[in-house]
Homo-oligomer: A and B are copies of this chain.
């Protein structure tokens, strides 16, 4: 394990800078003395787009590539047309760095409010494919703006792309106590892609005899996420289905205010990127109202990815302890929550 971390930091728009500051605070506090942390800040997002028209250039990618990992706050602002920063920055980065494992854990921690009734047990991870499916930008428009317009979107799925993410998910399922993996797709309708996913899934399953497998259609999966979330341990799914079900999963397990994610390239050929699932929330930006917990948990995923398992665990324990007490505390500011977590990981 390298005893230095060279981190690219992208605070971004809205509440991004505020939550990233707390993430770095906790990261600094948790790292052993001998680990040298170096951070380089990058000014991507709406400000840069308005100033230069650029979202993410080849030169930017060259620079980012040199780092060990990337921590991102949030990108997006109402002043920028919908889609420009999403496709020009977020998706461009995922594709350029081949972030094919989009990892999104969902765990309902004690003390955390859920919109679900009763006392649901929620503890699963979603492995969302990150570089294929309907996200490739394939498709087009003819006769735009006329009554004869036709617009297509092409979902592209390759054996190569599906197999590597399915393998990653099986390995993660194998490493968890319950060892259960659910494939979520819509193979009764999307038969071409569905056949490929199902076929690869069953083939790789042969190599993991200890892992229990099941298949669920994406529409039914949304039902189970609210009626039987305890059913899930590890889910593997396509890029778009993963986008949809992870927002729902975040909602039922405490909200996107605490949902973390990693855009991972397991080969380490490129740096992986870690970010909260929430957006830039411009309505509360700059007011110290944002919850930095999702960013702090993303830092834990980042540390685990770089091999700092114990430190990742300490952050997660600190967050659990903090969340368990929250309901009893008066409302705290972004930096007060960050400070509380910093103190806990330093003591832990």
Contacts and interface: CB of A to CB of B under 8 A. Distances in A.
Contacts of A220: 247
A186 B135 CA distance: 11
B222 A248 contact: yes
| Chain B CB within 10 A, most for which of A160, A194, A248, A252 | A248
B247 A192 contact: no
Contacts of A196: 141, 149, 151
A87 B189 CA distance: 7
A104 to B, nearest CB: 12
B147 A160 contact: yes
Nearest to A147: B159
A30 to B, nearest CB: 30
Nearest to A83: B188
B244 A222 contact: yes
A334 B225 CA distance: 27
Nearest to A155: B153
30 contacts: A83-B188, A83-B189, A83-B194, A115-B116, A115-B117, A116-B116, A117-B117, A134-B153, A139-B154, A140-B192, A141-B196, A144-B195, A145-B199, A147-B160, A147-B163, A148-B158, A148-B159, A148-B160, A150-B157, A150-B158, A150-B159, A151-B195, A152-B193, A153-B155, A155-B155, A186-B240, A219-B243, A222-B222, A222-B245, A222-B247
